[in-house]
Structure 1
Amino acid sequence: MPDTATVTTPPGTGDAPVRRRPALSPSRASDFKQCPLLYRFRAVDRLPEVPTKAQVRGTLVHAVLERLFGLPAGDRVAPRAKDLLAPTWAELSAASPEWTELFTDAEAGETDKWLASAEKLLDAYFELEDPRRLEPEACELHVEIELGSGVLLRGYIDRVDVAPTGEIRVVDYKTGAAPREIGEAKAMFQMKFYAVVLWRLRGVVPRQLKLMYLTDGQSLAYTPDEAELVRFERTLEAIWQAILKAGKTGDFRPNPGKLCSWCDHQAHCPEFGGTPPEYPGWPEPDAGEETALDRAD
């Protein structure tokens, strides 16, 4: 079967509810690589997780940068970006009111301090590039494709730049505080995932994969080649086959490591004396969806 692009009708449109079959996203693929049981908790059991202030701040900064590129080029300056913080936060917190519970009335000015820390991330962004000189093809681009092996890949790309010559650059903003040796490996896995999807959708290998670290004001650029993406595509197919095999029986095993101390699910993990919930079976309609918090690392 050839590679085929899939168009999904947005929720709330059309005559019938949309049911999407399980897919593989970069975050859920990374979860399974890190710990199959973590994948199960997030994608199958869908256990709730309490976001951190840093995660929510990352979501806010991503949203501000998306809105910034919606402005005329001449208006894309640091003061205007900072002006977008408060109204964007009001919009996001209205959609997810539980996020406001991260801030307590007992700590006066806590939200203001948190917004000020988001301003610092925006300052770091403007030190890395001048958005007035850029005209991205897309921001927060939803991409989806079914490979010839049958695996459905799905994700959201922070930004896609296309040069007049047709060369493609994939840009991802990083605002989290994950350990660099682990965080960079996870981030590059995500970028190669997007590179495979764009290559299969457009027939062009992205010229550059660019990570922009706003916490420390650094960027990392990488140039993939077609042979590398072929190998990575096989890796994704192997991960999906392993997920399907585990999904048939519910045998998602824990894989203890350095990141266990950051996991919200220790109470359900056998490695910490916990017991997983009863296995509910393979999820429908979708086990691959990413949240805005996933994309704000």
Structure 2
Amino acid sequence: MDVAEAITHPAAEVREVRMSLSPSRAGDFQTCPLLYRYRTVDRLPEPPSPAAARGTLVHSVLEDLFDAPATERTLERAVAMLPGQWAELLEEEPRLAGLFTPEQAAEETAWLSSAVELLGTYFRLEDPRWLEPADRELRVDHVLESGLGLGGIVDRVDVAPDGRIRVVDYKTGRSPDPRYEDKALFQMKFYALVLWRTRGVVPTLLQLLYLADGTVLQYEPTEDDLRGVERKVQALWDAISASYERQDFQPRPSALCRWCAHTQHCPEVGGTL
């Protein structure tokens, strides 16, 4: 199979489908193959949500906070950065301005306050004055022997003086039920696999910081773990390729459907594309 090939979908024009996978798109297919199609094949637009915009805002603040001298990385400075970072996001993505009308000033103020609470939780989990990340918002890429490209963006990579690597991801939602922790860690294992294959070092620690409830989820991967992830990712791509060939992406109803932006198109609830 070539790195790129044209696939015709009955509901879309001919599109170029690349042999590439990110944790987000892999998660989409595992959650619901039809959701994968809507986002990756049909590329249907999704309206911005206050929760997603708040997540982007908090991530932006935590990324840029490390530009300040160590002694100045305080909660007060992070909170003071919020209005300016929000203004930059509005300039970069004008559609976010539709989240709040002039008459909804009180709602916007409450929304910003909720971002302050998330930052407060972050500072209870870590003290950034004692951290010097090696990388922030790091793009990582690797091509498997099969030709499948893996890629994504890591929130933060810390490297100790002895070479040990810690991979950190910020989550502005709540931590998962213990039954679903493996699903939450898949993204981190995906990043760990790419870092291992590109740097030759297995990350020592994978760390998810859940800022809505102050939970820290950690995992110490091994080479065997990451080989298993590699096999899983390849099998997942094989399943995606089969769906392309059949032009058949089946819906997979679950409790997550209530948050889906594409219910009007989903045949499970009488929608049409």
TM-score, normalization by structure 2: 0.90
After superposition, where does 1:112-261 map in structure 2 within 5 Å? Answer: 112-177=109-174, 180=177, 184-261=181-258
Per-residue Cα deviation, 1:233-256 (whole angstroms, up to 9, x for no partner)? 100001111111211232111111
The residue that corresponds to 1:5 in the other structure is none
Q: Which runs of 5+ in 2 are unaligned?
A: 1-15
Q: Which runs of 5+ in 1 are unaligned?
A: 1-18, 277-297
Q: Percent of aligned positions with the same letter in both sequences? A: 56
2:260 pairs with one of 263, 268, 280: 263
1:63 pairs with one of 60, 64, 73: 60
Per-residue Cα deviation, 1:23-62 (whole angstroms, up to 9, x for no partner)? 1000000000111110000011011111220110000000
Select the structure with the greater relative contact order (CA < 8 A; seq sep ≥ 6): 1
2:34–2:249: 8 Å Cα contact kept in structure 1? yes
CA distance in structure 1 between the partners assigned to 2:117 and 2:216 by the alignment: 16
- The structure in which a higher percent of residues are helix is 2
1:55–1:176: 8 Å Cα contact kept in structure 2? no
The residue that corresponds to 1:45 in the other structure is 42
Matched residue type, 2:248: D
CA distance in structure 2 between the partners assigned to 1:98 and 1:180 by the alignment: 33
Matched residue type, 1:272: V
CA distance in structure 2 between the partners assigned to 1:146 and 1:32 by the alignment: 20
Matched residue type, 1:124: T
1:159–1:170: 8 Å Cα contact kept in structure 2? yes
Confirm or deny that 1:35 pairs with 2:43. no
TM-score, normalization by structure 1: 0.83
The residue that corresponds to 1:13 in the other structure is none
Give 3-state SS (helix, strand or coil) of 1:49's partner: coil
CA distance in structure 2 between the partners assigned to 1:178 and 1:27 by the alignment: 17
Q: How many residues align?
A: 258
2:174–2:210: 8 Å Cα contact kept in structure 1? no
Aligned-pair CA distance for 1:181: 5.2
CA distance in structure 1 between the partners assigned to 2:183 and 2:228 by the alignment: 17
Confirm or deny that 1:108 pairs with 2:105. yes
Give 3-state SS (helix, strand or coil) of 2:89's partner: helix
The residue that corresponds to 2:4 in the other structure is none
- The structure in which a higher percent of residues are strand is 2
Aligned-pair CA distance for 1:108: 3.3
Aligned-pair CA distance for 1:180: 3.8
